[in-house]
Amino acid sequence: MRKELLLFPFHVMVRPFSGFWDLKYDDMGNLRIAGAIVFLVFMSVVIQHQYGGYIFNNLNADEFNSLVQMRNVLLPYFLWCIANWSLTTLMDGEGNFSEICMVTAYALLPIAVILIPNTILSNVITQEESVFYYFFNGVAAVWFLFLLFVGTMTVHQYTVTKTLVTIFLTLVGMAFLLFLGLLFFSLIQQMYSFVFTIYQEIQFRN
Amino acid sequence: MKGYFPKVRLSAALLLILSMVTSTGAVSYAQAPYVGYNYSSKGETIPAPVAYKPDRVISGTAAGTGSFNQPKDIFVSQDRQIYIADTGNSRIVVLNERFEYIREVSEFDHSGRTDTFQAPSGIYVTENKDMYVADTENHRVVHLDDAGKLVQIIESPESEILIDNFVFLPLKVAVDKAKRVYVVAQGTFDGIMEFDGDGKFTGFTGTNRVRFNMADYFWKMIATQAQRDRMRLFIPTEYTNLDLDENGFIYTTNSDANTAVPIKRLNPTGIDVLRREGYWVPSGDLKFLPVGEHSGPSLFTDIAVGNSGMYSALDVKRGKIFTYDWDGNLLYIFGKMGEQVGTFQTPSAIDYLGDSILVLDRALNHITVFHETPIGRLINQAVKGHFKGDDELSAELWNRVVEYDANYEIAYIGISKALLRKGLNKEATEYAKLGMDKGNYSKVFKRHRKDVLREHLGSILSLSIAVIAGIIIQRTIKRKRRKTYHA
């Protein structure tokens, strides 16, 4: 059973329709595996940035920061899950939050699977052969988007149009969440500095 | 034992003298009124050793010819004589290479009567020492021979491609080997005026493209005719200066503050063929303040083409000289605005005197002479070596440049190229990496990869055959075992 669960994400990758169905109704998904996949994707992005071939690597080694990569992977992931869940609960979606998290994570797998070998490839090809590198990167992105689309459709039992609309609205929702988050931090900061200033004033009085 | 004593004292005295000599030597190199810097491949400003330092300042009085008044152009002829267009005094001053007065030309015989210049602001001297003067306020270009005798006068041209009320105000002039005369005139937006050997106007060359931004264009589209008439016109920018290289190609600078290509190299048909293979397009400073004093991109007022494809452009906004090599790599930057020796108020013209650089200042009325420092010399020699095709020599010099300045990334490219020629592909990839040159790296890496494959193909193949054979054997054994188990 354990081995089956571990291999299941790869099955989803190539058989998305039946795969996501099994994930939802046959209890084949596993949150811990989903977490591991997201972590793997994060690592693969870091690896590509750190060890990508010189010709394809525009990174300034002085400015390398894995936290930026973390922000680029983990933040959109959670934003997507939250926004998607918030919307689909209102739009008769049948998926619950953990299912959304699993589906999104399982859809991310092609990125990890392709990016790591592609990084190795990037170290042995020249500029003229760069087409392959960019092609595989593109394949990873397209594959991921396709899986995400099928996953969203299956887990919420939506039609194609409804799925597309949901995806668009989820993106809008992500922007809203970002905006609210920034607003929250900004207000907290101002409140903090206000309280701190009053504290200082009182302290200086005596 | 006694015999040693005087020897020791002598060597001690020698050491003292030696240390004094070297210390004074070091001090004289350390002095430059500006900070050396350059731009890295990432576009960051990085400190660099000063490549040129001011040597001396030549005023008109020092040269023995009375002080200059608003001189606008300087030209060094092939026999190393220095011609200065002393605009305010309406004369041309000629100095020798030691900056001693030879003669001045302020009048010439014009079909029987004496004629004079009026505010000449451009000068060009050909190989056989014919002098072409852009006699601005007289609306003409005067061509004198070596003896100061008038050969020809190019008057205001008449042509249907010129606007009706055209006023010919020649500012800068250059002449190629075929005696074609190129003139940058004030208020001409159509490019450089070209005259044939007989002084006949043949047309414009190298017209600057009209540039406008999308917002302006949009507003103009929806505006009424009356509004449109009152709007700013979209006109191409003027050239500010020009110089010719050995092949008769025209290097130009223009006055557009926002252009992506402030320096151009025009071929005989007027097409820009400047090589821009460096990290950045030759355009002076990459980083500058967006607003305030001395803000905005560099504004070039003159350009001088040296030998081996090097050229230096003079930035009038911040008083800097930017030198580029044939490929468009920024080699070094020097100069500054100020009041000291080696700084400028209104730099107006630049030219090479051998490897020295002369800069004429219009406000300070003097010439500043810049000499190479040791590193400037190394860089120049290395660039020359590479231009001549002697990559081995140039690599050796680049190695010494790197000893001075490990941040000098162009040097690594030079070394990489030389290593590639020697066939040391692996080392060449390392240096191409250090030089941040992806194109070159890719080229070198391809060869390196071929080497590696050629060396290891046999072992890779035999290893993979062994692995495959192993797998097959293992499987057959497994199958046989299973059979025996079932049986």
How many CB atoms within 10 Å of residue B335?
26
CA B333 to chain centre: 10
Q: What is the pLDDT of residues B231-282, one digit of tens each?
A: 766 667 788 899 998 888 999 998 776 777 889 999 988 889 999 988 999 9
Ranges assigned E (strand) in B328-429: 330-334, 347-353, 356-361, 366-372
Q: pLDDT by residue (tens digit) across B332-349?
A: 999 999 988 889 999 999
The answer to whether the CB atoms of A126 and B445 lie below 8 A apart is yes
B295: which 2 tokens?
A: 């803000």
Give the span between the Cα atoms of B299 and B296, in whole angstroms.
9
Q: Which amino acid is at B281?
A: V
Helices (H), chain A: 2-14, 16-25, 31-51, 66-90, 97-122, 130-156, 160-205
User: Which of B445, B446, B460 to probe the A interface (max A CBs under 10 A)?
Assistant: B445
Q: Are B298 and B318 in contact (CB under 8 A)?
A: yes
**Which residue's structure tokens are 């299912």?**
A99
Residue of A nearest to B44 (CA): A60
For residue B126, give Cα distances in angstroms to A95, B134, B140, B312, B474.
Answer: 85, 14, 18, 20, 86
CB contact under 8 A, A126 and B449: yes
Query: What secondary structure letter does DSSP report for B196?
Result: -
* pLDDT-derived band at B8, boundaries 50, 70, 90: very low
- Smallest CA–CA distance, residue B457 to chain A, in Å, is 15
CB distance B322 to B315 below 8 Å: yes
A124 touches chain B (CB under 8 A): yes
The pLDDT score that the predictor gives to residue B24 is 44
Q: Say how far apart CA A118 and CA A53 lie, in whole Å.
A: 10
Provide the 8-state DSSP code for B81: -
Two structure tokens written together for B44: 């960051």
Please list every residue in chain A whose beta carbon sits closer than 8 Å to the beta carbon of residue B438: 54-55, 127
> How many residues does the structure list for chain B?
487
Whole-number Cα distances in Å, B400 to B230, B253, B322, B356, B397: 60, 33, 22, 21, 5
If you average pLDDT over each of A61-70, A195-204, B285-294, which comes out highest? A195-204
Percent of chain B with pLDDT over 90: 44
Using the Cβ of B456 and the Cβ atoms of chain A, whether some distance falls under 8 Å is answered with no
* Residue B25 confidence (pLDDT) above 60: no
Residue B367 is predicted with a pLDDT of 93
3-state secondary structure of A182: helix
Pick the range with the lowest mean pLDDT from B147-161, B210-224, B280-294, B410-424: B210-224
CB contact under 8 A, B443 and A126: yes
Q: How many CA atoms lie within 13 A of B49 on its CB side?
A: 19
Mean pLDDT of chain A: 92
Q: Is residue B122 predicted with pLDDT exceeding 80?
A: yes
d(CA A165, CA A78): 20
Model pLDDT, residue B21:
46
Confidence band of B48 (pLDDT split at 50, 70, 90): very high
Q: Over 90: is that where the pLDDT of B27 sits? A: no
| Lowest-pLDDT range of B9-18, B303-312, B316-325, B411-420 | B9-18
Q: Which of B87, B85, B192 is nearest to B144 (CA)?
A: B85
* Cβ contact B446–A126 (<8 Å): yes
Asked if A60 has any chain B CB less than 8 Å from its own CB, the reply is yes
**Radius of gyration from C-alpha coordinates of chain A:** 21
Comparing CA positions, the residue from B335, B338, B345, B278 lying closest to residue B312 is: B335
d(CA A83, CA A81): 6
Q: What are the chain A neighbours of B443 within 8 Å (beta carbons)?
A: 126
| Range of lowest pLDDT (A56-65, A177-186, B191-200, B450-459) | A56-65
pLDDT in tens, A124-150: 999 889 999 999 999 999 999 999 999
* Predicted local distance difference test score (pLDDT) of residue B6: 47
Interval B129-144: pLDDT, tens: 999 999 999 999 999 9
Which pLDDT does position B175 carry in this prediction? 92
Would the pLDDT of A58 be above 80? no
From chain A, pick out residues whose CB is under 8 angstroms from the CB of B425. none
Q: Are B318 and B285 in contact (CB under 8 A)?
A: yes
| pLDDT value for A191 | 96
**What is the DSSP annotation of A96-154?**
-HHHHHHHHHHHHHHHHHHHHHHHHHHTT--GGGHHHHHHHHHHHHHHHHHHHHHHHHH
Q: pLDDT of B278-305, one tens digit each?
A: 899 998 899 888 888 888 888 899 999 9
Q: What residues contact B434, with CB distance under 8 A and at least 6 apart?
A: B409, B412, B416
pLDDT band of A167, cuts 50, 70, 90:
very high
- The reported pLDDT for the residue numbered B4 is 47
Q: Which is nearest to A8 in space by CA: A105, A149, A153, A76?
A: A105
Under the banding of pLDDT at 50, 70 and 90, the label for residue A44 is: very high
What's the mean pLDDT when you consider all of chain B?
Answer: 86
> What pLDDT does B209 receive?
73
Residues with Cβ within 8 Å of residue B13, at least 6 apart in sequence: none
Place B23 in a pLDDT band, splitting at 50, 70 and 90: very low
User: For residue B422, what is the enclosing H or E element?
Assistant: helix B409-422
Three-class SS state of A46? helix
The reported pLDDT for the residue numbered B482 is 78
Distances B236 to B72, B190, B255 between C-alpha atoms, Å: 24, 7, 10
Give CA separation, A13 vs A2, A108, A121, B38, in Å: 18, 9, 22, 51
pLDDT at B422 > cutoff 90: no
Which strands make up the sheet holding B192-195, listed edge to edge?
B170-175, B181-185, B192-195, B201-205
- The owner of tokens 């030219």 is B351
Q: Strand, coil or helix: what is B243?
A: strand
Please tell me the distance from the alpha carbon of residue A19 to that of residue B58, in angstroms, as a whole number. Answer: 85
| A66 phi/psi in degrees, rounded to 5 | -65, -25
Judged against a pLDDT cut of 80, whether residue B441 lies above it is answered with yes
